[in-house]
Chain A
Amino acid sequence: MANSNHSEGHSHVVPIPVYTKVFIQLLVLMVATVAVAKLAESNKALGDMSYLNNFIAMGIAFTKALLVIMIFMGVKFSTKLTKFYAFLGFVWFSLMFLMFMDYYFRKDEMVTGWSEVPASSLSRSRVVPGS
């Protein structure tokens, strides 16, 4: 293990055209996402597109991210171990969304606590640190 004497190809040099292709794809996606957003905003004739727009924008963001991670950051060409650590953070981050459960359920409870929007922001006087 420690002496795996053949590295699984990270040392391979990726030819430039591969990168160029990805770069062009990224630019196209970028233009697409802005175009969709502007369309959704201006063209009310198509109805309320904002939810669709959300999905498209996030979908495109994920695609772009995946392209960058896989090709630019070379995860596609790397060992399993590198792949594992490359994705661990993203997987674990999604755990944080468990917190969301709290806020979601609280809506139905007697004590909603925080969920009302304060009508105004009469700022309470802060204690200025150090005074």
Chain B
Amino acid sequence: MSNVVEKKNQKDSHMEEKNYITTDYTLKSWFITKDHKRIAMLYLVTVLIFFFVGSVAAGFVRFELTSPNGQFLESETYNRMFTAHGVVMIFFFLLVAIPAVLGNFLLPLMIGARDLAFPKLNLLSYYLFLGGALFGVTALVTGGVDTGWTFYTPLSSMYSNSQVVLTLTGAFIAGFSSISTAVNFIVTIHKMRAPGLTWFRLPLFVWAHYATSVIILLGTPVVAITLALVAVERLLHIGVFSPEYGGDPVLFQHMFWFYSHPAVYIMILPAMGVINEVIACFSRNRIFGYKFIAASSLAIAALGFLVWGHHMFVSSESYYQAAFFSLMSFLVAIPSAIKVFNWSATLYKGMIYVTTPMAYAIGFLGLFVIGGLTGLYCSCLATDEHLTGTYFIVAHFHYVMVGGTIMAFLAGIHFWWPKMTGRLYPESWGKIGMLIIFSGFHMTFMPQFIVGFLGMPRRYHYYYFAPEFQIYHVLSTAGAGVLAIGFMIPVVYLILSLKHGAKAPQNPWNAKGLEWEKVDAVPTTHNFHEIPVVNEPAYNYSIDDEPPIEAEKTRLGVVRESN
């Protein structure tokens, strides 16, 4: 980009013409960047690598299960495989995918700030994540872990003969990465909003991230110290969970789930935030019940801390406590349901354009409902006695985590791809990819509900005692193959779009929100040329709006009476 301008003006024209990607092409400028958008991109690449690693481990697990006697793995290796899958997917992908990528990229843009409150802390959090991840990877290549992602004592603290300490260290460090991101988000949301942007004018994406950050703040240190205690117990024999010292191993489960149930909300709340934005934009409707959705995020954050015991119904928990936690788990489904109903109400009488992000969002709605409702089967004491520890649980949480979080992640990536890269992705390929993922997903996990209900235990290597389960496992494995192909499609076309995609206009979806209306097609380093002043509510859509340009052809055939 050559400027034939006087030297004096050169600085100004730089500011105007260079966006955050083109300001500097050197690798170094990426690795020491303090720009939240660049850090988001670093995260994006990193978490995708981990998604790939986790998927490969899943592939091994699935293939192994196609025969009642196992295919080719040692039992020990099999344990390490599913642990690798769980640890990588949860600690190094799901917990960070949406907040650290989309959240990082969008929060300052959505609230009209030049950056997050603490840009250096943000960069530090990326390197902490990378550091933790490297520990995790080292543990994997030096033998792996066989305790499951839950690290239950005394298996993890005494008997397990694998790289427990390394993995725990990795999770511990990654935890601090989450915490620094959360601190950053909280301060930013409280203190950096543009003039006029009151709490109830914020996009719900921001509310969701606020609730998530509070959960991270209150929960992550608990699991960090708990895991550290396990590591110390292995290394130095200073044991708080040791039965031989009169300690209670189940205390570990209490501590672990005190964080890890809220952690599932760390994974799903940001996803719900994404869904708000996408659904409002492509149904050209104000979000129905804005305040209810905002409040339900906070309610989920608070109530989510009161249900951890539902993971311990068969772990010698007292009856009274089990009953309490069962009740609370039913209650926590209410705010989730409020959201689903409000989204459906937003679609109602809206002008629905089925673009790729919208397709993912609608997919999310269906899958999350199934996942959430089966959560109630698990919360009910009587049914859970039967279901716990079976593939039913596996299917439940994959419906919420893959069907919920990953669908929303993909929705978000497609929705904001033009803003992030300045390119448009190919719409038809997008929808093909979505359909393949959606059907592959059902193929993989629907059979798991059935086989789990029939009694297939999770984390088992063999099922020669019930060869009739094979058909379900084979189906599931085939589905996993479809799913893998499905995931590859967006990766390919998104990468290709970087080079060949059409240049995106400033607001390709004709969407509302500061990040679309007040920011360049690709944001500049400081996001805004001048800090915007906000004087309208969020989601000020109307069905009479101009259609989203890219989406015009794909509108659902809802005809409203024209006036």
Instruction: Verify that A and B bind, or say they do not.
Output: yes
Residues of A within 8 A of B (CB): 1-3, 81, 85, 88-89, 92, 95-96, 98-99, 101-106, 109, 111, 113-114, 117-118, 121-124, 126-127, 129-131
Q: Is the CB of B159 within 8 A of A102?
A: no
* Total CB contacts across the A-B interface at under 8 A: 78
Question: Which bracket fits the contact residues of B?
Answer: 35 or more
**Are A102 and B309 CB-contacts (below 8 A) given A1-B193, A127-B159, A127-B160?**
yes
Give the CA-CA distance A114 to B318 in the complex, in Å.
Answer: 12
Q: Does B246 make an interface contact (CB < 8 A)?
A: yes
- Could you tell me the distance between the alpha carbons of A123 and B222 in the complex, rounded to whole angstroms? 28
The residue among A95, A106, A117 with the most chain B CB atoms within 10 A of its own CB is: A106
A85-B186, A105-B321, A121-B244 known, 13 other contacts, Cβ within 8 Å: A2-B193, A88-B218, A92-B218, A99-B258, A102-B254, A103-B248, A104-B318, A105-B319, A114-B249, A114-B316, A117-B246, A118-B244, A131-B161
A96 touches B258 (CB 8 A): yes
Contact A121/B245 with A1-B193, A102-B254, A106-B318 known, Cβ cut-off 8 Å: yes
Interchain nearest-CB distance for A126 vs B (Å): 5
Residues A2 and B318 in contact, CB atoms below 8 Å apart:
no
User: Which residues of B are found within 8 Å of A117, using beta-carbon distances?
Assistant: 246
> Knowing A127-B158, A127-B161, A129-B164 touch, does A102 contact B317 (C-beta < 8 A)?
yes
> Could you say which of B186, B305, B318 contacts A102, with CB atoms under 8 Å apart?
B318
Q: Is the CB of A1 within 8 A of B244?
A: no
Q: B538 CB to closest chain A CB, in angstroms?
A: 15
A49, B543: Cα distance in complex, Å: 75
**Nearest CB on B from A123, distance (A):** 5
B316 — which chain A residues lie within 8 A by C-beta?
106, 111, 113-114
Residues of A within 8 A of B373 (CB): none
Contact A95 B306 (CB under 8 A): yes
Is B25 engaged at the interface, CB distance under 8 Å to the other chain?
no
Taking CB atoms, residues of chain A closer than 8 Å to B158 are: 124, 126-127
List of A residues within 8 angstroms of B249 by Cβ: 114
Per-residue A-contact encoding for B342-353, CB less than 8 Å = 1, 0 else = 000000000000
CB closest residue in chain B, given A2:
B193
What residues of A have a CB within 8 angstroms of the CB of B317 in the complex? 102
- Cβ of B324: which chain A residues have Cβ within 8 Å of it? 101
Per-residue CB contact flags for chain B residues 236-275 toward chain A (1 = under 8 Å, else 0) read 0100000111101111001000100000000000000000
Whether the pair A2, B250 counts as a contact (CB closer than 8 A) is no
Is B190 among interface residues, defined by CB-CB distance under 8 A?
yes
Can you list 27 A-B pairs with a CB-CB distance of less than 8 A? A2-B193, A2-B195, A2-B197, A88-B218, A92-B305, A96-B222, A96-B258, A99-B251, A99-B254, A99-B258, A101-B318, A101-B324, A102-B254, A103-B248, A104-B318, A105-B320, A109-B318, A109-B319, A114-B250, A117-B246, A118-B244, A121-B245, A123-B244, A124-B244, A127-B161, A129-B164, A129-B235
